[in-house]
């Protein structure tokens, strides 16, 4: 027969040798009483909380950074492509501006070079049968005036090129047909009849007429061009 001795009066052993709930509370109270500085315990708990928060923040930030890394690589690639596109666009704009400048220079040089060839070509194309010209001349425009604005002299635009056609016809219908065909020309505008009289030439009655017309440049889509080096022997 075994005899057990309780070395701690006031406490009872639980069944099966396990400490009772009251014994657990006593131990917790004993642990609290063993801490002499409560502020140190609070500081330790605060540091543990801060360390846990920092650890959680570090882990979550690392995961977020891992998710954003592919997007950063893609954004950098798109930025490089966009920069290449802008550089190519700037180069093309420089080439375009250079070509436009050359075209403007050529237009200024050759602007009035082919005026009379166009006029003669349109007049000969519109001239009907039994109708001929005796004179085709340039009509002088009135003197160019300047407009004063803020004590500065502003030049007026150049006057239009006007021509006068003097001709003869044996058929009055040929005269009207000539006027109508001149009006259909894209290079001539404002075809105006100045006079039309019956005169006798070489013993024959003919109609003498005088017409005025204005030279104008048609839109580019109505102009038919041919190569300058095209052979005339063809």
Last residue of a domain, one of 111, 129, 162: 111
Whole domain around residue 31: which residue ranges? 21-111
Same domain, 163 and 99: no
The model's pLDDT over 76-95, given as tens digits with 9 standing for 90+, comes to 888 888 899 999 999 999 99
Residue indicated by tokens 């001795």:
5
The structure tokens listed for 192 are 């105006």
Is position 226 within any domain? Answer: no
Residue among 206, 180, 205, 209 nearest 196 (CA)? 209
Is position 7 within any domain? Answer: no
Residues of the chain with pLDDT below 70 are 1-37, 107-112, 141-157, 220-234
Is position 228 within any domain? Answer: no
Residue indicated by tokens 């701690």:
8
Same domain, 78 and 130: no
Same domain, 122 and 211: yes
Question: Helices 172-183 and 115-126: crossing angle, nearest 10°?
Answer: 140
Same domain, 123 and 78: no
Same domain, 135 and 63: no
Residues 168, 208 contacting (CB under 8 angstroms): yes
Same domain, 88 and 122: no
pLDDT of residue 201: 86
Is position 139 within any domain? Answer: yes
Same domain, 97 and 182: no
Spell 195-217 as b/e; 16+ CB within 10 A means b.
eeeeeeeeeeebbbbebebbbee
pLDDT of residue 67: 79
Same domain, 205 and 130: yes
pLDDT of residue 162: 92
Same domain, 77 and 99: yes
Q: What is the CATH number of the domain that holds 173?
A: 3.30.70.60
Same domain, 214 and 119: yes
User: Cα separations (Å) of 41 from 24, 28, 36, 213?
Assistant: 21, 15, 9, 110
Q: Evaluate the CA torsion angle 187, 193, 194, 198 in order and state its sign.
A: positive
Per the structure, the count of domains in the chain is 2
Same domain, 140 and 47: no
Is position 15 within any domain? Answer: no
**Reported pTM:** 0.48
């Amino acid at each position: 027969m075994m005899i057990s001795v309780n070395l701690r009066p006031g406490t009872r052993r639980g069944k099966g040798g396990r400490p009772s709930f009251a014994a657990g509370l006593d131990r917790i109270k004993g642990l609290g009483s063993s801490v002499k500085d409560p502020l140190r315990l609070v500081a330790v708990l605060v540091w543990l909380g801060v360390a846990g928060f920092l650890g959680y923040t570090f882990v979550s930030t690392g995961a977020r950074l891992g998710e954003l890394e592919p997007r950063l690589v893609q954004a950098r690639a798109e930025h490089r492509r966009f920069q290449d596109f802008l550089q190519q666009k700037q180069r093309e704009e420089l080439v375009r501006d250079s070509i436009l400048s050359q075209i403007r220079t050529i237009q200024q040089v050759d602007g009035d070079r082919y005026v009379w060839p166009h006029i003669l070509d349109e007049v000969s194309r519109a001239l009907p049968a039994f109708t001929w010209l005796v004179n085709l001349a340039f009509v002088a425009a009135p003197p160019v005036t300047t407009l004063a604005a803020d004590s500065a002299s502003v030049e007026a635009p150049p006057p239009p090129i006007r021509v006068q056609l003097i001709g003869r016809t044996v058929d009055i219908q040929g005269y009207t047909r000539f006027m109508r065909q001149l009006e259909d020309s894209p290079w001539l505008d404002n075809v105006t009849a100045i006079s039309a009289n019956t005169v006798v030439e070489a013993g024959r009655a003919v109609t003498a007429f005088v017409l005025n017309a204005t030279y104008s440049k048609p839109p580019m889509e109505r102009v038919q061009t041919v190569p300058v080096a095209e052979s005339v022997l063809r």
